[in-house]
Structure 1
């Protein structure tokens, strides 16, 4: 089974403790820091909409892209329930285009760590550069190489009355890869539905990412320890990047 198919129905339960409104508060602090006032936001790898719905609540014109049709369906349902309008599209973020420029492009919660080849990261960056307004910003996060390498191998079990999830984690530290084989059992009436997925992430060093951004036509404005404006350090778990089109590409 592909990624985020069987998991889509329970994903929001698993991330219930994440303060996504706080994430967008931080993004708006970044926008103020760089005097950027976008009206439109495109969220890549938007999943069930947790990092684009808060933008729509705040009055932005919002778009979301994700490769998983199941995750997009969850996002559409949540959006309808709140009476919001967000244009969601099932699309590979390595090959997309927009009909009009957008003022802000985001990709959060490990979305780019799932792109495990440098050349594919470069494709994403080129697509973003093509759709971004001249003074717009590209803001995204990546799990740090050191954090991915430090997580323990072996099984982890989550047991709840209506679901059980078993994670089997394997590292390839030489290549910076982190693979998780996931088996889930979700209650449906008197029975449990079983699903299996494999998720793989890669960590990227900041210098490599800045080089790929530059090659795609971006100027890197900052790389921050998550939710601060401090420089990244060895204990940083998550890095936030802020980039703007270079003057030559505007």
Structure 2
């Protein structure tokens, strides 16, 4: 997984992503569980779309992402809005040298890009160290149902004037894992030709029980587990699972 070329068309591909719903979830949970402040660490911030929206709502935001290109796009977008915020290139499982925050977010199933349970556990431990007392961790992951019944052996396509893709999903080597083989065709407006971009991504998820156990082991109180932006408990066919946790 590189995101080196994909970073520059990512926002076009994510134009319909539910950013407003993620922010609504964050605001509701921080009020419901009394977050100690509005200082947010946005892990896997990508092109900064969520971070910038939070900045506009008065949050103090820091963004972290593994991709240098994603961070470059985020900085450029913020500058175009007359905004700026700290951006760091780090692996979320190896957080280091950052201050403490009131809220940490990992949205858009970004935790599923960690390829081992140990990396997930290290991420939870690192977040715990970087949270203020009573600080909140909010994140979502793909459900095991999503991996085994929605993604598995499926082909997804999308075609618009300036960009198209073919997305094939296959069973990964580990339980509840998927390998995504993506091919994008992006219009170069200067030449009138389409550039081909190929990306290979892996995602892996875990049972709700396992994730909850790792959170508790890391020192968190698990305050809420819901599904699909509904605020209701997960069901057998739920596709996106949300966790709200508090540092003890």
* TM-score, normalised with respect to structure 2: 0.93
* CA drift at 1:81: 1.0
Secondary structure of the residue aligned to 1:51 is: helix
1:137-216 correspondence to structure 2 within 5 Å: 137-151=136-150, 152-172=152-172, 175-188=175-188, 189-190=190-191, 191-216=193-218
Could you tell me which residue of structure 2 aligns to residue 218 of structure 1? 220
Does the 8 A contact of 2:135 with 2:246 survive in 1?
Answer: yes
- Corresponding residue number in structure 2 for 1:19: 18
Following TM superposition, by how much is the alpha carbon of 1:99 offset from its aligned partner in structure 2, in angstroms?
3.8
Q: Deviations over 1:33-56 (max 9, x none)?
A: 112242200010111112221211
How many residue pairs get matched?
A: 245
RMSD of equivalent CA atoms: 1.6
Q: The residue matched to 2:69 in structure 1 has which SS?
A: helix
**1:1-250 superposed matches below 5 A:** 2-151=1-150, 152-172=152-172, 175-188=175-188, 189-190=190-191, 191-246=193-248
The gaps in structure 1 that reach 5 residues or longer are: none
CA distance in 1, matches of 2:119, 2:47: 23
Structure 1 Cα separation of the partners of residues 229 and 57 of structure 2: 19
Residues 168, 181 of structure 2: 8 Å contact kept: yes
For 1:159 and 1:134, the matched residues in 2 are separated by 47
Contact 1:143 1:239 in 2 (8 A): yes
Q: What are the Cα deviations for residues 17-72 of structure 1, in whole angstroms up to 9, with x where unaligned?
A: 12312321221111111122422000101111122212111111100100011111
Give the whole-Å Cα distance in 2 for the aligned partners of 1:97 and 1:21.
Answer: 30
Q: Which runs of 5+ in 2 are unaligned?
A: none
Distance 1:155 1:18 in 2: 19
Output the CA distance in 2 between the equivalents of 1:114 and 1:23. Answer: 19
8 Å contact kept, 2:75–2:84: no
How many angstroms does 1:182 deviate by?
A: 0.9
Measure the CA separation in 2 of the matches of 1:147 and 1:57: 33
Give the Å deviation of 1:174.
6.3
Q: 1:18 to 1:99 in 2, by over 3 A?
A: closer
- Cα separation, 1, equivalents of 2:132 and 2:228: 25
Cα shift readout 1:57-97 (whole Å, capped 9, x = no counterpart): 11111001000111111111111111122111111111112
CA drift of 1:98 comes to 4.4
